[in-house]
A and B are shown apart, each in its own frame.
Chain A
Amino acid sequence: MAGTKAAHPAASDNFTESSSYRLAGGVRVRQERFGLLFYNHRGPRIYFVPTGRFINEDFFDGKQTIGKLVDSIRHKSGLPGERILDRLKEIFRTFEAKGLIDEQRLR
């Protein structure tokens, strides 16, 4: 899958199960006990996201889709897919607003 950097409007406006994301330039992430710890060298430097084990740091390689993530979380939590998708949309909108991720698009 070839990805390109998202253009306007905000990528979360197009948030669907086929969406996938990559870390923005200068951003790194690692898994911690509470969830994800982002580091953005353009500042503010660190950002804590209490995602538990539901979102793995590997998700942000731009190759995995939100749909697969929903399936994975549904499998672990037993929650309905729609509810998971709504919550993920909120979370990813925040990530975008903080400049941590870029949406990847299929050409």
Chain B
Amino acid sequence: MSNGYVEMGLCAPVNVTWEVTYACNLSCVHCLSDSGAKRYGELTTEECRRVIDDLAAAKVFQLNIGGGEPFARPDFLELMDYAHQKDMVTCISTNGTLIDREVARRLDHGLVYIQVSLDGATPESNDGVRGRGSYKKALRSLEFLRQRNVAASINTVLTRLNFLELDKLTQLAASFGAGFRVSRFRPSGRGEKSWSRLNVSKEQMVEFSNWLSRNLEVSTGDSFFSITTEERRSLGLNMCGACKLTCCISPLGRVYPCAFLQQSEFLAGRAPEEPLAFIWKHSPVFESFRRLEIKSCGSCHRFDMCHGGCPAIAYHTQRRLGVPDPGCLANCVGVKAHPAHRQMVTGN
């Protein structure tokens, strides 16, 4: 990643995370957006089309679509097609439960990537987090996607419950011709309540970093840039991309630095009323976020690898910005790994 060019300031995000609805038929214990029922004020179809027009005009390349469950919106496929007409790539994060054979056929499009969420390699470990029956339905959707040759991956939020199942999840993904992606658990939404129970320990974070180094084909969507090792350095970012490469639009059209910072103090603007290019360029929230420096990390030997780590984790755990990510590798190393964790790494 060419930091110098990013620091100069891009005219628009490279990609935008767009949570298209709060509606969801599952009730995962770590849901970042506390989704469940559709909420008053969610953007209408027409407003969503205006958002897409606006993002296309700003030359945003990619939409990372989530929710809620995107397919819970009756107009979702229509909106997805509209984004493709504008040449935008759609990367859709879904629980998979609403993808049947016909939906998979509609997704058979070169501009679509699907991430099916699965938080365990067995029904027991997954359904305890995501809800009864969700494992079976997610696998069924992966099979439909495989049959249509749709680019897909299994996306797993790393927790202490699935920490020892990563190899199995990698194999499971491969069995569907899918990739495997691991995302970082963050204490926002319902994740705030389940944080202390589910978040991995520092020892596990170190072990996971080592595991990633040996599994370069596993993607992380850069959510683990704070634990990147030399082996993965060329694979992604070495800094938080919020307000520099990406931003987030909520189901209500509110624009924030990222999906994990949706408090009122981070509200940068409202779509589609305000053009995204204007918000991107002129929002005081975005401007101050770009100037954010984690000064106490300045002397760290890993500073060039992570620049202080994830501000959202720092904010949610310490209620302020400008402080180090507590889960950064520098903070985690030195903690002796538990033998059970080594077992995951060595496979013995």
Contacts and interface: CB of A to CB of B under 8 A. Distances in A.
User: Do A and B come from the same complex?
Assistant: yes
Interface of A: 26, 28, 30-34, 37, 39, 41, 45-46, 48, 50
Judged by DSSP, the binding face of A is strand
Given A34-B4, A48-B5, 19 more contacts: A26-B110, A28-B87, A30-B59, A30-B61, A31-B11, A32-B5, A32-B8, A32-B11, A33-B9, A33-B11, A34-B8, A37-B5, A39-B14, A39-B61, A41-B89, A41-B111, A45-B14, A46-B14, A50-B5
Judged by DSSP, the binding face of B is loop
Contact of B11 (A26, A30, A41, A50): A30
A33 B9 CA distance: 8
Nearest to B12: A30
Contacts of A46: 14, 61
Contacts of B59: 28, 30
Contact of B62 (A30, A33, A41): A41
Contacts of A28: 59, 61, 87
A48 B89 CA distance: 19
B212 to A, nearest CB: 18
Contacts, number: 36
A67 to B, nearest CB: 28
B348 interface: no
10 contacts: A28-B87, A30-B12, A32-B10, A32-B11, A34-B8, A37-B10, A37-B14, A39-B14, A41-B61, A46-B61
A49 to B, nearest CB: 9
B2 interface: yes
A30 B58 CA distance: 10
Contacts of B10: 32, 37
Contacts of A41: 61-62, 89, 111
Contacts of A37: 5, 10, 14
